[in-house]
Amino acid sequence: MSRETATDDATDPTSLALDAPAPQTPDDAEDGVWLGCIDCGETYSPFESVRYTCDCGGLLEVRYGEPSGFADFGPEGHSAATERGVWRYAAALPFDEGVSLPEGDTPLHRVPRLEDEVGVASLRIKHEGMNPTGSFKDRGMTVGVRAARELGVGRLACASTGNTSAALAAYGGRADMETLVLLPAGKVAAGKVAQAALHGARILEVDGNFDACLDIVQELAGRGEAYLLNSLNPFRLEGQKTIGFEILEAHLADYGTFPDRIVLPVGNAGNTAALYKAFRELVQADALEPEEVPALTGVQAADAAPMVEAIEDGADEIRRWEEVETIATAIRIGNPVNAPKALPGIRNTGGTAVAVADEEITAAQRDLAGEGVGVEPASAASVAGLRKLRDRGVVDDDERVVCLTTGHLLKDPDAAYEAGNDPEPVPNDADAVLEHLRE
């Protein structure tokens, strides 16, 4: 597998190179934690004031003076820890504890039939739908809402294709904070709206797509009217790093080796950025060799695929797609704001990106469900993408692969109903039922 680091200067501690050295702690750090710009390297104190991006416009990330918290990384180290889930990795997070429900510790399912059919050395499914509100967003919110508390903000807000709003509503409720969610009208799956409503968020339905909702929330946040908890918020991505830690530890425990590849659905590219950051920090802490880092492989729906376009074109910047459509409404996104963090992640790990048709997503959703793993359409995109890359010979048959499924089947009951068997009406009588079954 070839590793391209040409675009990143590996001697620059603020670069996104996989093997960049740990940065020096600046004066404005608090307890060894600060915010650093991925473009110009400017640093900011994390809790003195609210800030999502650098003055230069670049994205910020949380940085640490001491990645040595990873010393006990591995199957033995953390299994002895008393904390479970996300907060088991507190050494790699900006706080010791968060607003927790709790989250993380999701299963790494075996799917022997799919593994056989796709034809790889091993295939495991990291099912993030098993988090408290049914998606990986909970991992980000436990840290993000804790940061909101630390900053003393009054009102929380996010734009969402659904899952972020469900998670923010639940964690905002837990923290007893006012919560606003902006949703693209008519384009959010029923289960997610129901969650946001019952957990007590105010739901604002916008006549526009997700990207338009995010534009508005960024503007509200910029005017100081709300604290933004989309994945532009660097604290959220810290929690999502723990998906990567859990995958590596569980895979090592089961196979004695790390996975060669992690395949995941891409919307705003926050998760891709978070996994890459997890691996960079492990490399910095000498807990992982650069060549052991799994190839990050992103999957988008064919009619919402700006990241795939950028990877295929070798572009450093994303072209915003104004019109996007897919059955996988969670990733119906045309302007992945975390692309500057995620593109180096895909490239520097030897990964790639691929687009899949809605029919391929539904087929993968059915196949996963057939092995007992119930996921929403966006999640199934990972398996559909793997299948396509195997067919194209991009993924080899000797690879050990983990597909990330990001949300639970019940999030989108309409899609499940459409993809599944139709109910059959039968008379209220056992003989008639048997007769029906014989037909």
What is the binding site for ligand F0G (CB under 6 A)? 135, 137, 160-164, 231, 265-271, 330-331, 376, 378-379, 406-407
Q: Decide: helix, strand or coil at residue 32.
A: coil
Instruction: Give whichever of 185 and 426 is closer to ligand F0G, judged by the CB atom.
Output: 185
Q: How far is the CB of 267 from ligand F0G (least distance, A)?
A: 3
Q: How far is the CB of 165 from ligand F0G (least distance, A)?
A: 6
* Distance of alpha carbon 141 from alpha carbon 147, whole angstroms: 9
Q: How far is the CB of 12 from ligand F0G (least distance, A)?
A: 26
Q: How far is the CB of 381 from ligand F0G (least distance, A)?
A: 8
Q: Furthest-apart CA pair in the chain: how many Å?
A: 80
Yes or no: say if 120 and 400 are a contact pair by the CB < 8 Å rule. Answer: yes
Q: How far is the CB of 73 from ligand F0G (least distance, A)?
A: 23
> Which residues are CB-neighbours of 65 under 8 A, at least 6 positions away?
22, 25, 29, 32, 33
Instruction: Give whichever of 111 and 168 is closer to ligand F0G, judged by the CB atom.
Output: 168
Q: What are the CA-CA distances from residue 78 to residues 64, 249, 284, 338 (Å)?
A: 20, 9, 19, 30
Instruction: Give whichever of 123 and 330 is closer to ligand F0G, judged by the CB atom.
Output: 330
Instruction: Give whichever of 331 and 368 is closer to ligand F0G, judged by the CB atom.
Output: 331
User: Beta-strand (E) ranges in 231-357?
Assistant: 261-265, 295-301, 352-356
Instruction: Give whichever of 260 and 376 is closer to ligand F0G, judged by the CB atom.
Output: 376
> Which residues are CB-neighbours of 369 under 8 A, at least 6 positions away?
375, 409, 416, 419, 420
Instruction: Give whichever of 67 and 345 is closer to ligand F0G, judged by the CB atom.
Output: 345
- Burial track 267-292 (b if 16+ CB lie within 10 A, e otherwise): bbbbbbbbbbbbbbbbbbbebbebeb
Instruction: Give whichever of 43 and 382 is closer to ligand F0G, judged by the CB atom.
Output: 382
Q: How far is the CB of 149 from ligand F0G (least distance, A)?
A: 22
Q: How far is the CB of 330 from ligand F0G (least distance, A)?
A: 3
Q: How far is the CB of 420 from ligand F0G (least distance, A)?
A: 18
Q: What are phi and psi of 244, to 5 degrees?
A: -65, -45
Nearest to 351 by CA among 282, 401, 284: 401
Q: Decide: helix, strand or coil at residue 42.
A: coil
Yes or no: say if 103 and 138 are a contact pair by the CB < 8 Å rule. Answer: yes
Q: What are the CA-CA distances from residue 250 to residues 93, 203, 246, 349 (Å)?
A: 20, 38, 6, 20
Q: What is the DSSP letter of 17?
A: -
Instruction: Give whichever of 259 and 407 is closer to ligand F0G, judged by the CB atom.
Output: 407
Q: Decide: helix, strand or coil at residue 337.
A: coil
Instruction: Give whichever of 100 and 405 is closer to ligand F0G, judged by the CB atom.
Output: 405
Q: How far is the CB of 134 from ligand F0G (least distance, A)?
A: 9
